Amino acid sequence: MMLADFAKVLESSTLIKQGAEAKVYTVELVKAAEGRPGITVLLKYRFPKTYRHPSLDSQLTKNRLTFEARSLTRALKTGVRVPVLKGLDLEQGWLMLEWIEGISLREWLQEHQQHEQSQEELLNLLSDVGTQIAKLHSADIIHGDLTTSNMMLRASKSQGPSRSNQEVVMIDFGLSSVTSLVEDKAVDLYVLERAFLSTHSDPNNRSLKHSSPLFEIVLQAYANYLSQESWMAIKTRLANVRMRGRKRSMVG
């Protein structure tokens, strides 16, 4: 895509999110017509940072996009549900991804977490989260920003009988890395645990200050997927990471 073409694409796209490092757009590549669905993709643009030296900024952008693209491709080959990579331009600083139609797990939990009739679906979805993360870590992929906002729910594509009509898709691999270090996998899990505690905990239950029942469901499914040896190593390190985190919070 030439620079002029890219500028036109941005003009016709819809900005849905802006962070410190990137802007995220939806782009309608093909408009819907009678008898033919449209094609919408997600465009992630790492815009130039004027506070950095241009050559350094360019190299950092290329590195981050390369890491993200590699992690997505590796995850997909491993069987993790992630958006399909549709395009990549390291020079202009963008990547194009499959558009995931649905809502985030965070939104779903905020609406359904306390509903009695949603408890079976809740168990199925959180177990799916644990399995997806275990698959990532088994492939030595560290997500780097595991939160319920970075997990989308879409209509299940599985064939045959299914316990749930929704499935979890992992998104936003902008901080991902590839490493076999147990420490990094434990920290990845700890980040998610803190997200559950801060966003999806019961404020009236003081006994749950350092524990999330929802995260425990995720962790159980995670453990079930791994070998006993792998799980015990990560479990031990996670306990250590938790202890360090609590000490930091006590010190302030």
Catalytic residue among 145, 172, 184, 188: 145
Residue with tokens 């780097």: 144
CA 251 to chain CA mean position, Å = 30
Identity of residue 3: L
Residue with tokens 């998104």: 171
Query: Distance between CA 236 and CA 223 in Å, rounded?
Result: 12
**Are 123 and 221 spatial neighbours (Cβ–Cβ below 8 Å)?**
no
**Which tokens belong to 231?**
């799980």
CA 160 to chain CA mean position, Å = 26
Q: Is 145 a catalytic residue?
A: yes
Looking at 70-150, which runs of residues are DSSP E strands?
Answer: 85-89, 94-98, 103-104, 141-142
30-to-6, 37, 38, 131 alpha-carbon distances in Å: 16, 8, 5, 34
192-to-9, 88, 93 alpha-carbon distances in Å: 35, 28, 28
Identity of residue 46: R
* Bridge partner list, 24: 17, 44
- Number of neighbouring beta carbons within 10 Å of residue 135: 19
Question: Could you list the active site residues?
Answer: 145
